[in-house]
Amino acid sequence: MQGVLDILSSGVHDAKNQLFLAETLLVQAEAEHGISLDEARFAIELAALRLSRVLTAYKLQRGLDTLSISMQPVGELLEEAVLINRKHCERLGLSLTVAHQRPVLWPLDRELSLDILSNALQNASRFARSRIVLSAEEREGFLRLAVEDDGAGFDPPPHTAAPRLGVGLFVAREIAAQHQRGGRQGRLSLSNGGALGGAVFELWLP
Amino acid sequence: MAALTELGPDFYRALRFLVVDDQPAARQGLRICAQTMGAFLVEFSAGYQDAIARIRRAPPDVILCDYQLGGERSGQQLLEELRRFDMLADEAVFIMVTAEQAYEQVVAVVELAPDDYIIKPFSPERLKLRLDRVLRRKRFFQPLYVAKRAADFPAAERFLDESRDTDEGQLHRFELMRQQAEVQILKGDAEAAERVFDEILAAHAFPWARAGKARALVGQNRLQEAREIMDRVVIDAPMYFGGHDLKTQICMDMGDHAEAQRTVEEASRKTERNYVRKRLLADAALLNGDTATAVEAMADVVRNDTTPGAVTVADRLMLVRSLVEAGTLMEAERALDEITPQRLETAGLDERASWQALRALMKPDAERARVAGLRSAWMATPFDAQTRLDIVRAAMALGDRELATAMTHALFASDEIRRVFKVVRDLFEAQGMSPVFRELQRRAALQKISHGDDVPPEAPLQGV
């Protein structure tokens, strides 16, 4: 099993190295020709994210992944998730705003949480009409990270049927559950409604 | 929270960057990223040795280093080497660049973590975001770096106290607490350090904080409790090799050399090129009587720890000691000859005495007169435990029971006896001096009970 993982990991890393080179060549072209290739760069980052996600899913399925928890500034996590997705949302004419004051710090896996939020923001950007809000707050002893949009919501509504679990949601659910603290476990929640009336994606971390 | 000023291109233009990557195209990619942020001075390095040479010559402000450096070297090894030889100021930034998502798990458990890391691919904007944060953090902690360099503990504590409730201090609350605990350990106030680590552990059971608490317990001589914590830490965080090292030290302090060797051997197998750990392995193996492993580990250190100044006289002595214990005297002599007079000149009192004692151990007749001239000075010098043990061995070889007894008495008077207890006991037994050893042990126990008031160390011992 470790052998298969090594081969897969090595392939994914090679591909990501190549994607990094592709992105920097685009950056160079932007500088040389005074043009913006944001969407091309975004597509490259998305491809890399999906590659990583498949690898993470494989590891999770085989119980190989362990989280790396450290005390992280929540504001910085949100800031980075927005930075990754801001230009893409702008191009689609969507406003992406952040609502967060406290908590300042929370124990979590930075890279995986960032991937989950980024994935949720990309999903929201496909369905939102004009607004997406990324928020964080402390509720019931959990950190609640939420992505809400003003689109039509999940179809079918999550409370009427089990959501179809793509790789992204599968990884998000497993990673959430692996966040454990003081006998409590993280979880994912999908619903419709919320303050903006559309889809509500919530990641609850203990 | 107060908005923090963004660090603009002018700020970056003044910084010296070093990009370390063995792949030319990747170096180019990182250069483009750095220049997009406003960097002007960007140097390249193609690998480990070249990077060390460049950093020694002109320390950069920011190092962007790929995790894979080719030739079985990693960016992590480079970082550890730079920190080990103090080649990087606290203010310098080291950012690891990697395509491996799993690097997060590596960085969480290494003893010396980079200031941050970033997973490829990434945009220059994201790299800048991470770098801005590190630079702001460095600026925030700068008064602490200055205070620690000057060993000015009151200034360090003042900074930590005053910073905790500021906006930026809240962002770094756990790092401030960690630093507070470290300052308490440096000051020798292990109880205060333990309280701070407990406060951190109340938030989350980080392996490093559990290890910190264990260190604080060692500082209070509560070895059994420290051992229990570390037994669990190495199981819960098997890749936290610093945890293995700490458990090894605790086991050695408790005289459990078999477990010490087993623990450090496990970590050393997974970190083949960590020569600091190899040295620890040699220490544990020799105390455990596994001379073959000790010889192998020290020969590896002397041969392959190639950074200039890395191999010390103490290392060469350890190799000699291991070879002598293994009974390979010819090789031991050759290794001893490697300690040239010039090398010995740079050594401290402990090493010089050990060098002489090991010579006497190998050639008692030739060295008898020289040791006779030194023995009273040796008895009056506060050597470390290793040197005292070397002298005990030499004294036994020379038949100088008085010197052996005096050195052992000094070992008993220090806490270090636990580490070498079994070795010394066996030496006395081999010489038919077990009753003397037991008497020394009895006196040490009495002295401990009575705080050393009523059993003068100079009282003659029967059988000497």
Say which of A14, A105, A111 has its CB closest to residue B101.
Answer: A111
Task: Give the number of C-alpha atoms closer than 13 A to the C-alpha of residue A63, restricted to the C-beta side.
Answer: 0
Using the Cα atoms of residue A177, residue A181, residue A184 and residue A186 in order, give the sign of their dihedral.
negative
Checking if the pLDDT of A189 tops 70, the result is: yes
Show Cβ contacts of residue B151 under 8 Å, excluding neighbours closer than 6 positions.
B186
Give the mean pLDDT of A113-120. 95
Rounded to an integer, what distance in angstroms lies between the CA atom of residue A43 and that of residue A62?
29
Which residues in B lie closer than 8 A to residue A84 (C-beta atoms)?
126
Give the mean pLDDT of B46-74. 92
Instruction: Name the residue in chain A with its Cα closest to that of B102.
Output: A65
Chain A to chain B Cβ contacts (< 8 Å): 98
Checking if the pLDDT of B455 tops 60, the result is: no
- Partner-chain contact B105 A66, CB within 8 Å: yes
Residue B181 in tokens: 């605990």
Å from A49 to nearest chain B CA?
9
CATH 3.40.50.2300 holds for B11-148: yes
Could you tell me which residue, B370 or B204, shows the higher pLDDT?
Answer: B370
Give the mean pLDDT of B285-300. 97
Give the mean pLDDT of B414-443. 92
B123 phi/psi in degrees, rounded to 5: -90, 160
Give the mean pLDDT of A47-76. 88
Instruction: Name the residue in chain A with its Cα closest to that of B173.
Output: A105
Q: Give the pLDDT of residue B113.
A: 87
Q: Which residues in A have their CB inside 8 Å of a CB on B?
A: 9, 12-14, 16-17, 19-25, 27-28, 31, 41, 44-45, 48, 52, 55-56, 66, 68-71, 73, 75-76, 79-80, 83-84, 104-105, 107, 109-112, 181
Beta strands A184-185 and A180-181, pairing class: antiparallel
Give the mean pLDDT of B1-30. 80
- Partner-chain contact A20 B108, CB within 8 Å: no
Rounded to an integer, what distance in angstroms lies between the CA atom of residue B124 and that of residue B136?
18
Enumerate the β-bridge partners of residue A146: A135, A202
Checking if the pLDDT of B463 tops 80, the result is: no
Residue environment code for A3-26, b if the CB has 16+ CB neighbours within 10 A, otherwise e: eeeeeebeebbebbbbbbbbbbbb
Q: Give the pLDDT of residue B104.
A: 77
Which residues in A lie closer than 8 A to residue B204 (C-beta atoms)?
69, 71, 107, 181
Q: Among A76-90, A94-108, B76-90, B249-263, which is the least confidently predicted range? A: B76-90
Å from B425 to nearest chain A CA?
46
Residue B457 in tokens: 């160390």
Rounded to an integer, what distance in angstroms lies between the CA atom of residue B413 and that of residue B407?
10
Which residues in B lie closer than 8 A to residue A12 (C-beta atoms)?
99
Q: Among A175-189, B24-38, B172-186, B419-433, which is the least confidently predicted range? A: B24-38
Q: Give the pLDDT of residue B5.
A: 52
Say which of B28, B29, B204 has its CB closest to residue A181.
Answer: B204
Q: Give the pLDDT of residue B461.
A: 61
Show Cβ contacts of residue B315 under 8 Å, excluding neighbours closer than 6 positions.
B279, B298, B301, B302, B305
- Count the helices and strands in chain A (H runs, E runs): 5, 9
Checking if the pLDDT of A78 tops 50, the result is: yes
Q: Among B252, B194, B254, B244, which Cα is nearest to B219's?
A: B194
Instruction: Name the residue in chain B with its Cα closest to that of A40.
Output: B123
Residue B65 in tokens: 């280093």
Give the mean pLDDT of A140-146. 97
Chain B interface, mutation test: which of A17, A25, A59, A74, most B Cβ atoms within 10 Å? A17
Checking if the pLDDT of B251 tops 50, the result is: yes
- Partner-chain contact A24 B104, CB within 8 Å: no
Q: Give the pLDDT of residue A166.
A: 83
Q: What is the pLDDT of residues B335-358, one digit of tens each?
A: 999 999 999 998 999 999 999 999
CB-based contact, B186 to chain A, within 8 Å:
no
CB-based contact, B206 to chain A, within 8 Å:
yes
- What's the pLDDT band for B1 if we cut at 50, 70, 90? very low
Q: Give the pLDDT of residue B26.
A: 87
Q: Give the pLDDT of residue B2.
A: 36
Residue A198 in tokens: 């559309």
CB-based contact, B100 to chain A, within 8 Å:
yes
Burial label, B284 (beta-carbon count in 10 A; 0-12, 13-18, 19+): buried
| Domain positions in chain B | 11-148, 377-464
Rounded to an integer, what distance in angstroms lies between the CA atom of residue B257 and that of residue B260?
5
Which residues in A lie closer than 8 A to residue B164 (C-beta atoms)?
none
Computed over every residue of chain B, the mean pLDDT equals 91
- Partner-chain contact B171 A55, CB within 8 Å: no
Could you tell me which residue, B8 or A194, shows the higher pLDDT?
Answer: A194
- Partner-chain contact B36 A83, CB within 8 Å: no
Å from A19 to nearest chain B CA?
6
Rounded to an integer, what distance in angstroms lies between the CA atom of residue B314 and that of residue B302?
11
- Partner-chain contact B108 A22, CB within 8 Å: no
Q: Give the pLDDT of residue A1.
A: 57
Give the mean pLDDT of B83-93. 92
- What's the pLDDT band for B3 if we cut at 50, 70, 90? very low
Burial label, A54 (beta-carbon count in 10 A; 0-12, 13-18, 19+): middle
Sequential DSSP letters for B165-233:
TSHHHHHTHHHHHHHHHHHHHHHT-HHHHHHHHHHHHHH---HHHHHHHHHHHHHTT-HHHHHHHHHHH
CB-based contact, B236 to chain A, within 8 Å:
no
Say which of A70, A109, A111 has its CB closest to residue B119.
Answer: A111
Rounded to an integer, what distance in angstroms lies between the CA atom of residue B252 and that of residue B261?
9
For chain B positions 113-152, those within 8 Å of chain A (CB to CB) are 119-126, 129, 133
Task: Give percent of chain B above pLDDT 90.
Answer: 77
Instruction: Name the residue in chain B with its Cα closest to that of A110.
Output: B104
Please tell me whether residue B7 adopts helix, strand or coil conformation.
coil
Show Cβ contacts of residue A44 under 8 Å, excluding neighbours closer than 6 positions.
A19, A22, A23, A26, B121
Rounded to an integer, what distance in angstroms lies between the CA atom of residue B440 and that of residue B410?
10
- Partner-chain contact B129 A80, CB within 8 Å: yes
Q: Among A72-81, B80-89, B104-113, B139-148, which is the least confidently predicted range? A: B104-113
Rounded to an integer, what distance in angstroms lies between the CA atom of residue B91 and that of residue B114?
12
* Packed helices B275-287 and B313-325: angle between N→C axes, nearest 10 degrees: 30
Q: Give the pLDDT of residue A77.
A: 98
- What's the pLDDT band for A2 if we cut at 50, 70, 90? low
A143 phi/psi in degrees, rounded to 5: -90, 120
Give the mean pLDDT of A33-51. 93
- Partner-chain contact B122 A105, CB within 8 Å: no
- What's the pLDDT band for B21 if we cut at 50, 70, 90? very high
Q: Verify cis geometry, omega within 30 degrees of 0, for the bond prior to A156.
A: yes
Q: Give the pLDDT of residue A182.
A: 87
Residue A11 in tokens: 């392939």
Q: What is the pLDDT of residues B302-347, one digit of tens each?
A: 999 988 889 999 999 999 999 999 999 999 999 999 999 999 998 9
- Partner-chain contact B121 A69, CB within 8 Å: no
